[in-house]
Amino acid sequence: MAAAESHSARMGADFGPEAGVEVPPGHILRVEIRSPDGPIWSGSATSVVVPASQGAMGILPRHASLLSSLDVGLTRVRAEDGGEHRFVTGLGFVEVHRNRVLLLVDFGEEPEAIDVARAEAARGRARARLRTPSEKVDAARAEAALRRAVQRLRFAGQPRI
């Protein structure tokens, strides 16, 4: 498994949007990011990087169709105009089909919009719940809240590129 991971890491360094792969004109992705609270972002893009459950996954135009689960983390969308949109997104799914990328996540917000004090309080509450196990505490829910708070704090305040 370590050999496969190091191979993937090398591949990620040589390929994908970070390596400056040029997308031919007219080749774009239609991207939609949605949560139960409503739409988060939609538009045209040349690439998307999502926090898939097994690690970051880059998506370029003409990507093979796929359905994958997502973890809590940073989603980056390289817009058609060259700007980058960043979102801290929650657990969910990504579907890629015919240059359409649909992310269904339990939450999503721009890093600069994160309320750091609120995220720190949520992290503290989740840690306290996990430290004192009882029948009244849903451990899975507390762990999910802790993951969300940690990721929000990790990316909070990062400016838009």
| pLDDT for position 16 | 42
Which of 103, 106, 115, 102 has the alpha carbon at shortest distance from 144? 106
Count the neighbouring beta carbons within 10 Å of the beta carbon of residue 158.
Answer: 14
Whole-angstrom CA distances from 127 to 106, 108, 137, 145, 149 are: 21, 22, 12, 9, 10
- Model confidence, pTM: 0.71
- What's the CATH number for 2-109? 2.60.15.10
| pLDDT for position 17 | 45
Task: Look at domain 112-155 and name its CATH class.
Answer: mainly alpha
Is the torsion defined by CA of 145, 147, 149, 151 positive or negative? negative
Output the tens digit of pLDDT for each of the chain's 161 residues.
444 443 333 333 444 444 455 555 568 999 999 999 999 999 999 999 999 988 999 999 999 999 999 999 999 999 988 899 999 999 999 999 999 999 999 989 887 877 788 888 888 888 888 888 776 777 787 888 888 888 887 878 655 54
For the chain, give every domain's residue range: 2-109, 112-155
